Amino acid sequence: MTTNAAEQRTWLFEKEKISKAVFKLSIPTICSNLVMILYSLADTFFVGMINSPAQSAAVSIISPVLLAFNAINNLFGVGSSSMMSRALGAKDYKTLRRSSAFGFYGSLICGVIFSMLAAIFSGPLLHMLGASEETMEPSSRYLLWAVILGAPFAILNVVMGYMVRAEGNTLQASIGTMSGAFINILLDPLFILVFGMKAEGAALATLIANICACLYFFGYLYLKRKTTLVCIDIKEFGFKKNIVSGICAVGVPASIQNLLNVVSQVLMNNIAAFYGTTAVAALGIAFRSSQVLMYVGMGISQGVMPLIGYTYAARMVDRMKSCIFYTMKLSICIMFTLTIFYELFPAKIMGAFISDPDTVAIGSVLIRGMALANPFLAIDFMNVGVFQACGKGTQSLILAILRKGIFEIPFMFLFNAVLGVYGIGFSALCAEVLMTAISLLMLRSLLKKTMKQTNPAQL
């Protein structure tokens, strides 16, 4: 690592104006997340052009499996990047190298295992996800390319992006992620429409795109091998107690949070399946469309995690607090503005992906309910991100269980009983309002304890 590179990182984390540092770290991550959701929507858009609810439903049915990738992404990506940022703040470069190597090889091994399990249990898996006789064939073809063959590449490129972002290089991390997404968007119409592969073509495009993203990151690490802090040397990979426990303390709660997201979506699909293929297609399109808002909030919180982790480890409490509250205000303003747009034009958003009038009608109501939750979700994401960045896995686990297991999933069944399929869209709103209050109280407690540890005379 050159002196100049180290000085640039130190300036960004320790001395750069908070607003500039937040924008430098967050904007590339937001752009990356938007492109990621854009390529997810591209699948929905081009498959929707076939105007077949069964093909659109197939994309929705496999969506929870793709979300399950995030459980591994978060275990090794969030876990290792959090530990890397804290090790960087503490100037502990040995731990930094070992944690990045563990994240890389751990995600690779788990990705291969995921593929093997999906291949062995594909039949029962599709039934569990809600595939019917009508949607079984397109769903199985989508599963083959996107999951059975694609899991290792889909997981590895995201984890590598997390690790590159941990050293403060959010731009390169985002370019790597976006390169795969742009390739996916370009290949989608070719495979889906020109070659007539339908939903299967979307999955093949995703596989090729993820392979390309992995190649970009390998190229980056090779070219920057003298300056990058990310280490994928097999010699640094091992099961050192402090490394495994440090990564798992943050990664396991983040992983559980995503597994609960998967359970939530599987339940949503199964509830919608009771109302027919049209309802499943409408839910899938509405969910993916509303994810644009979610990914903006997530991008902001993910972008500043290295700064929060660094300042926490370096005991720069005032700078840490300024970063948290500035970012939170920014996130709320952006999410509120986007929510207004979704509330005003839900039918136009649905109509951009499918022309079937029944699907558009159901989806428009669902979009409105889902969008309302997002300003509150911005606060939730920020608070969870703070706990992850500081290595506080217990707090993030509590928030994850509360959000999905205690609030959102029970609300989903309650609102379905009262409002039918439309109730699914409003379950997250009630959950996020409660989560906002709880997470803010937990954040206040963390900041008080951190200030006491830094300067006992302050409180």
Q: Which run of H or E residues covers position 56?
A: helix 53-72
2 pLDDT exceeds 80?
A: no
Kindly tell me if the per-residue pLDDT of 438 is higher than 90: yes
Confidence at 456, pLDDT banded by 50, 70, 90: very low
Segment holding 245, helix H or strand E: helix 241-273
pLDDT of residue 110: 94
Q: What is the mean pLDDT of residues 129-137?
A: 85
Lowest mean pLDDT among 281-285, 366-370, 378-382, 433-437: 281-285
3-state helix, strand, coil in the chain (%, to 5): 85, 0, 15
Ordered DSSP codes for 259-327: HHHHHHHHHHHHHHHTT-HHHHHHHHHHHHHHHHHHHHHHHHHHHHHHHHHHHHHTT-HHHHHHHHHHH
pLDDT tens digits for range 171-205: 888 888 888 888 988 999 999 988 889 888 999 99
CB contact at 8 A, 140 and 55: no
Scan for tokens 């009983």, then name that residue.
Answer: 417
Q: How confident is the model at residue 114 (pLDDT cuts 50, 70, 90)?
A: very high
Whether residue 7 has pLDDT greater than 80: no
DSSP per-residue string spanning 167-180: TT-HHHHHHHHHHH
Domain residue ranges in the chain: 16-449
Q: Which of 272-276, 299-303, 439-443 has the highest mean pLDDT?
A: 439-443
Residue-level pLDDT at 115: 95
pLDDT at 9: 64
State the Cα–Cα distance between residues 386 and 173, nearest whole angstrom.
20
> What digits encode the pLDDT tens for the residues 389-416?
888 878 888 888 898 889 988 999 999 9
Contact 297/374 with Cβ under 8 angstroms? yes
pLDDT at position 104 is 95
pLDDT at residue 457 greater than cutoff 50:
no
- The Cα–Cα gap between 76 and 400 comes to 17
pLDDT of residue 251: 85
Give the residue-averaged pLDDT of 99-123. Answer: 94
Residue 7 CA to residue 3 CA, distance in Å, equals: 6
Is the pTM here over 0.85, yes or no? no
What are the pLDDT digits (tens) for 320-342?
999 999 999 999 999 999 999 99
Sorting pLDDT into bands at 50, 70 and 90, what band is 120? very high
What percent of the chain lies above the pLDDT cut of 90?
Answer: 29
Question: Which has the higher per-residue pLDDT, 9 or 266?
Answer: 266
Would the pLDDT of 458 be above 50?
no
- For residue 125, the Cα-to-chain-centroid distance in whole angstroms is 22
Report pLDDT digits (tens) over 226-270.
Answer: 888 888 989 999 888 889 988 888 888 878 877 887 788 788 888
